[in-house]
Amino acid sequence: MHAAYSVNAKRLHWLIALLIVAQFLVTLLMPDIKEGMSMEPVITLHFTLGLLVLLLMAVRLVVRLRNPVEAATTPGKPLERVLAVGVHRLFYAILLTSPFLGWIAASAHGLPVALFGIVELPALAADHAEWGHQAGDVHGLVMWTLLGLIALHAGAALFHHLVRRDDTLRRMLPDRSR
Ligand code: HEM
Ligand code: HEM
């Protein structure tokens, strides 16, 4: 178990965080996905950003498993550690599964899923498939829950930095000593 995050772990953390913030902004601009609708650039962007996050999270999981890092919490606060590690694991679980639910929902609505609108990917559900529409409902619900968890996670990081004045946030920032 390492004490510090590697440069790659930090890069991936902030790149993925940026993509997810952009993704939620795009989601607000996205029209309701309905059967038989035509593709719009904002929908292509939602699919592309989501697929990039999925891809980068898979890379990140490999980086993380090969290089396990201890979570930073104040000694003597076991509950905080459990909560922090639990949220971190939930991030991995959600971001490695829920994009597939969105992909399934896209297919069930007859929408093509193509990375950057060019690299076409296979449909994961039949057009009009009822289970695919349900997957879409779960996708939305899970992703809005994710947004709440991100607020909790970022709030905790800022609390550590500004109130506790410890090194938690600095652990995830570029190492200036090198
Ligand atoms: C980080 C990844 C992603 C996030 C944070 C995200 C977020 C969301 C959210 C919050 C909604 C609900 C919008 C609403 O309430 O109106 C939604 C809907 C949707 N997303 Fe995603 N999404 C992601 C990835 C994907 C991917 C990879 C695809 C497809 C390839 C996708 C396809 C869809 C579709 C089709 C809907 C509409 C679902 C329905 O109403 O049936 N999403 N997404
Ligand atoms: C926006 C989406 C975000 C996601 C999905 C996310 C996800 C994660 C994950 C999974 C970890 C565990 C370490 C790892 O496996 O790489 C982590 C650690 C961390 N994140 Fe985030 N993060 C996000 C945004 C933020 C923001 C906005 C901040 C700061 C305001 C932040 C601050 C931190 C810090 C300080 C750690 C290290 C905590 C520790 O060592 O215990 N994160 N994040």
pLDDT digits (tens, 9 = 90+) for 49-74: 999 999 999 999 999 999 999 888 77
User: What's the pLDDT at 47?
Assistant: 98
Structure tokens at 137: 């409902």
- Over residues 3-39, the pLDDT tens digits come to 899 999 999 999 999 999 999 999 999 999 998 899 9
Distance CA 128, CA 108 (A): 5
139 in ligand 1 pocket by Cβ < 6 Å? Answer: yes
Side-chain half-sphere CA neighbours of 149 within 13 A: 21
Going from the Cα of 87 to the center of ligand 2, the distance in angstroms, rounded, reads 9
Q: Report long-range pairs for 71-78 (Cβ below 8 Å, ≥24 apart).
A: 72/160, 72/166, 72/167, 72/168, 72/171, 73/168, 74/164, 74/166
Q: Which among 63, 69, 82, 88 is the best mutation to test ligand 2's pocket, defined by most ligand atoms within 8 Å of the CB? A: 88
Q: Pick the ligand that lies closest to the CA of residue 72.
A: 2
- Over residues 67-102, the pLDDT tens digits come to 999 888 778 889 999 999 999 999 999 999 999 999
22 in ligand 2 pocket by Cβ < 6 Å? Answer: no
Total-model pTM:
0.96
9 in ligand 2 pocket by Cβ < 6 Å? Answer: yes
DSSP letters spanning 43-65? HHHHHHHHHHHHHHHHHHHHHHH
Q: Which domains does the chain have, with CATH numbers?
A: 7-171 (1.20.950)
Distance CA 9, CA 72 (A): 15
